[in-house]
A and B are shown apart, each in its own frame.
Chain A
Amino acid sequence: MKTLTTLFRNNIREYGMLIALIAIMVFFQFQTGGILFKPVNITNLVLQNSYVITMALGMLLIIVSGWIDLSVGSVVAVVGALAGVLIVRYHLDWVVTVAICLLVGAAIGAFQGYWVAYLKIPAFIVTLAGMLIFRGLTFVLLQGESVGPFPRGFQNISSGFIPDIFNGSLNGKPFHVTTILIGVLLSIILVVVDMRARKNQQKYGFEVTPFYFSIVKNVVITAAVMGLCYLMASYKGLPNVLVLLFVLITGYAFVTSTTTIGRRIFAMGGNEKAARLSGVNTPRLLFYTFVNMGVLAALAGLIVAARLNSSTPNAGDGMELDVIAACFIGGASASGGIGTVIGAVVGAFMIGVLNNGMSIMGLGIDWQKVVKGVVLLVAVLFDVYNKNKSS
C-alpha cells in the first residue's frame, strides 16, 4: 500500500483535478435532479465545449512556451465569418471552404508568430492587437449582420453523428451499436497500450506500479469509456465532434509527452536561453506554436459557425478567457514550462460542466462568472500550495 500512497502523492495534481471534476459532476447531478447525466445533456455538454477544448490544446502549447494568445476569440469570429461569406455569398463548396479557412487560420498564426518569435514583441501585446484587428475584420466581412444558413454537410461538422451501420435497437428504441463497438475497440486498445508500456518499463528494470493497481486503473478507464459510449448510444450515437476531439486530444497528448518536438517546447518554456544554447531553434519552434494555435482556432471557428448555423459578428466573444482559464485550471504555469494536455482538457471540462450545470440550475450569467473566477483562483492556489509543500 505504500507505493499506492506515494503514487497518489506524486500525482496529486492529476488525481486532484479528476476528483474535483467528478465531485462537481456529482454535485450538479443531484442539484439538477439527474439532468446532467442524461444522454442528451452529455451530448450537449460535449458539443458546447468542443471549441474550448480544441483551442485549449493549442493554448496549452503557447502557455507552456511562456506566452499567451488573447486573439483566439476574434480568430474564431473572423474564420467563421469567412466561411459564411464563402459558402453563403459566393456559393463555394463547403469542403473547399473548410480547407481555405484552416489555411487562413495558419496564416493568422504565422502573422502573429512572426511578430512574437522573430520581431520579439511580447505576445500579450501582439495578440491584444490581433484581438482588435480580427474582431474588426469580422465586422468588415459580415458588414455587421449574421450570415447563414449553412448546407447540411457543413452543419454536420458539429451537430452530426456518426452513422450506425447496424441500425440497432434496444427495448424497441433505436440503439447505436456502432458506438458500442467503437467503445469496445477503444477499451481493448487502451488496455493493450498500457500493458505494453508497463512491460517495456519492466524490461529496462524500472519500478512499476503494482499489478493489482494496473488492473484497477484499467477497469476504471474501461468502465468510463463504456459508460460514456452507452449513454451516447442510447441517444443518437457518437457526435462527429467527439470523434474529432478524441483524435486531437490523443494526438496532442502523444506529441507533448513523448516526442522530441514536445520535449523541446517544454525546454523552451522552462528556459529559453538554455534551450537555444542546446541547439533548439527556439524562434522557429515558437513561430510554429503560433501557427498551430491559428489552425486550431480556425477549426474552432468552423465548429462554432456550424453549430450556430450562421456566422455572427460576436461569435467567440470572450472565449479566449475560457480557453486560458482551462489551461491554468489544468495546472499550466503562467511562467511557462509546465502543463499537460490532459490537464487542460480536464480544465476545459470543468468549466464546461460548471457552465452547463449552473445554466440548468437557472443561475444567472452574472453569478456564473463569479463562480468560474473563484474556481480558477482556487485551482491555482492548490497548485502553489502543492509546489511549496514539495520543495
Chain B
Amino acid sequence: MSDAILEMRNITKTFPGVKALDNVSFSVRQGEIHALVGENGAGKSTLMNVLSGIYPHSSYSGEIYFQGKECRFQNIHDSEKVGLVIIHQELALVPFLSIAENLFLGNERAKNGVIDWNESFSKTKELLDRVGLYELPSTLITDMGVGKQQLVEIAKALAKKVKLLILDEPTASLNDNDSEKLLELLLQFKANGISSILISHKLSEVNKVADSITILRDGATIETLDCKKDNITEDRIIRGMVGRDLTHRFPPREKNIGEVVFEIRDWNVYHPLHEDRKVSNNINIKVRRGEVIGLSGLMGAGRTELGMSIFGRAYGTRISGTAYKHGKEIDISTIDKAISNGIAYATEDRKAYGLVLIQEIKNNITLANLEAISDGGVVINEPKEMTITSQYRDKLNIKCSSIRQLAVNLSGGNQQKVVLSKWLFANPDILILDEPTRGIDVGAKYEIYTIINRLASEGKAIIFISSELPEILGVCDRIYVMREGKIVGEMPASEASQEKVMKYIMTQTQQEVVEQ
C-alpha cells in the first residue's frame, strides 16, 4: 500500500448513543477512482465528514494519512489546503452570483481587496474548459441546470488544486446524459492523476468507472473489492451491502388487472413562466384497476409536470384536456377536487413538497384527510389520530421512536413511507408516485416496491414515474415513454427492455437533431 494517496486507519466516531463508525479503515491509491457504497446510514457520509475535517480531529479516534503525512484537520479549510475537496449532494453554490464569482468565492483573484475581473474571467474560462462546460463566466448559477451546476462545483474544486476529489451522490439529480458526462470527466481526471472517491447508490455507474469498491455496512468496513482482479457484478455488490442475497430485487406480484379506471385525453399544459412553451403536448394515457403504469423518460421530459398538472393543476398554466374516471368526466381543476375524486400525488421532492418536516409524523400522515379523524369534521380527535397513524406505522414499517417524532429526524426511506402513508390514508383510487425511491437505500426500495404491489393487488390504479429504467421494468405492467412533453412510445412491460426504452428516448432525439 505504498502507493496510497490516502489512508484512514481505525476510525471510530460516536454520536451520543450511537457508534456511527466502528474501527473503519479505508485507503485510496494514487490515481484511482474508489467507490464507497453502502445502505443509507451505513456511515459513508460520516466517514467523509471525518476525512474532510467537518468533524474536527479531536471528535473521533484513529489516524488519517494523506500522501504519507499524518493529518489532523480542524476544519474544512485544513483539508482543502492539502488538496482534499468534497462536493456534497446539496450543491453549495450561490444562485444569484456568476460562475466566476462562485468559483473564486472566498479565494478571490484580488489585489488589496479589489477584484481583478480580467484575471477572474480568464482563469474561469480555463477551468470551465477543463470540465467541458461551455458557458460564459458571467452566467448566473440560477440560469443553469443541475448538471451544469455540478460541473461548476467540480471546476471550483480544480481551482483549489484538488488532488483527491470526493463526490457524494453526484448523479442523484442528473439525467442519464449528464451522468454519463460526469463519469467521463472522472475518468479523464484519473488520466491526469487526480484520484476520486465516488459515493453512489447507482451501482451501474459504480461498476462502470470504479477501480476499487469499498463496502460499508452498519458503520464498519465489510470488504474492499478490486475491480481489475475480480469480475464484480451488481448483485455481488448488493450482497455485500445488505449482507444477504437479494435474489429478487423486485418482489413478484400477482397480477389482477381490471377495467380502465382513469384516463386523460388531449392533455395540454404550458410552462408557468414561459407561457408559450408546452410541457405536456396532447397527452393521452389510461390506467386500469390493479395496474401499474410507468412514465419513463429523461429528466425534463415532462413526467413530473404531467403528474402534477393532473393533480388539481398543481403545475402549469393554460391547461386543457379532459379527465375520466370510470368513463365519466371528472373535475380536477383544484387539488381539493382532485383529492375528493380519489387522485393522490406523492411528490419526487419529499422534503420540499411532501412533508412538513418540523411537524410530527402523525400530523404529516393525516394532513390530506383531516376530516376523517375529526369529530364533526372540525375538532381533531387526537387519540383516534394516534391510533390510526400507529396502524400505518406498523403496516408500512416506519422506523421511528414514536409516532410523535418529528419528520425531519427520519431517514430518507422512512420519510418516503410517511409520504406514502399520508396518501394511503386519503384512500385514493388513482395514485401518482413520482420517483418514490429516489435517494433511498436498496432495502428501503424493496419495501416501497412491496407496498406498490400490495396497493395494486388491492385494486388501485398506479402511475409510477421513475428515472431508473430497471425499476420501471421491474415494477410496471405497461410503460409510456415521454420526451419533450410528448408520449413517444407505449409498450407492455413484458415486451420492454432497457435497450428498447432507451432507443425510444434516444433515437427520437437524434431524429429531432436531423430535422433541425
Which residues from chain B contact A100 at a C-beta distance below 8 Å? none
Whether B491 is near chain A, meaning CB under 8 Å from some CB there, is: no
Known: A263-B380, A264-B370. A274 touches B356 (CB 8 A): yes
Binary per-residue interface labels of chain B (348-363) against chain A in the complex, 1 for a CB within 8 Å, 0 otherwise: 0000111111110001
With the chains together, A119 CA to B180 CA distance in Å?
43
Which residues from chain A contact B356 at a C-beta distance below 8 Å? 266-267, 270-271, 274-275, 337
Query: Could you pull out 28 A-B pairs where Cβ atoms are within 8 angstroms?
Result: A201-B383, A203-B383, A204-B383, A204-B386, A204-B387, A206-B383, A258-B380, A259-B374, A259-B379, A260-B374, A260-B379, A261-B378, A266-B356, A266-B359, A266-B363, A267-B356, A270-B358, A271-B353, A271-B358, A274-B354, A275-B367, A276-B314, A277-B347, A278-B335, A279-B335, A279-B336, A280-B367, A281-B336
The contact of B359 among A203, A204, A270, by CB within 8 Å, is A270
Shortest Cβ distance from residue A317 to the other chain B in the assembled complex, whole angstroms: 35
Indicate if the CB atoms of A277 and B335 lie closer than 8 Å: yes
Indicate if the CB atoms of B314 and A204 lie closer than 8 Å: no
Which residues from chain B contact A201 at a C-beta distance below 8 Å? 383
Q: Which residue of A lies closest to B314 (CB)?
A: A277
Shortest Cβ distance from residue B401 to the other chain A in the assembled complex, whole angstroms: 13
With the chains together, A273 CA to B352 CA distance in Å?
7
A-B pairs with lowest CB-CB distance, top 9: A204-B383, A270-B356, A278-B368, A260-B370, A271-B356, A278-B367, A279-B339, A273-B353, A270-B358
Whether A200 is near chain B, meaning CB under 8 Å from some CB there, is: yes
The contact of B363 among A259, A267, A391, by CB within 8 Å, is A267
Whether A195 is near chain B, meaning CB under 8 Å from some CB there, is: no
Binary per-residue interface labels of chain B (101-134) against chain A in the complex, 1 for a CB within 8 Å, 0 otherwise: 0000000000000000000000000000000000
Indicate if the CB atoms of A337 and B378 lie closer than 8 Å: no
Indicate if the CB atoms of A260 and B371 lie closer than 8 Å: yes
The interface residues of chain A, by DSSP majority, are classed as helix
Which residues from chain B contact A280 at a C-beta distance below 8 Å? 367
Which residues from chain A contact B223 at a C-beta distance below 8 Å? none
Name 20 extra pairs, CB < 8 A, besides A274-B356, A277-B314: A204-B386, A206-B386, A258-B380, A259-B379, A260-B377, A260-B378, A260-B380, A263-B363, A263-B370, A266-B359, A267-B367, A270-B357, A271-B353, A271-B356, A271-B357, A273-B352, A273-B353, A274-B352, A274-B355, A277-B345
Whether B142 is near chain A, meaning CB under 8 Å from some CB there, is: no
How many residues does chain B have at the interface if contact means C-beta atoms less than 8 Å apart? 36
Give residues in A with beta carbon < 8 Å to B.
200-201, 203-204, 206, 258-261, 263-264, 266-267, 270-271, 273-281, 337-338, 391
With the chains together, A232 CA to B386 CA distance in Å?
42
Which residues from chain B contact A203 at a C-beta distance below 8 Å? 383
Indicate if the CB atoms of B383 and A274 lie closer than 8 Å: no
With the chains together, A91 CA to B347 CA distance in Å?
60
With the chains together, A270 CA to B354 CA distance in Å?
11
With the chains together, A81 CA to B314 CA distance in Å?
44
Whether B497 is near chain A, meaning CB under 8 Å from some CB there, is: no
Which residues from chain B contact A278 at a C-beta distance below 8 Å? 335, 367-368, 422
Shortest Cβ distance from residue A353 to the other chain B in the assembled complex, whole angstroms: 30
With the chains together, A161 CA to B408 CA distance in Å?
49
Query: For residues 59 through 82 of chain B, which have their beta carbon under 8 Å from a beta carbon of chain A?
Result: none
Whether B384 is near chain A, meaning CB under 8 Å from some CB there, is: yes
Indicate if the CB atoms of A337 and B359 lie closer than 8 Å: yes
Binary per-residue interface labels of chain B (371-411) against chain A in the complex, 1 for a CB within 8 Å, 0 otherwise: 10010011110111011000000000000000000000100
Indicate if the CB atoms of A276 and B357 lie closer than 8 Å: no
With the chains together, A274 CA to B382 CA distance in Å?
22
With the chains together, A266 CA to B356 CA distance in Å?
9
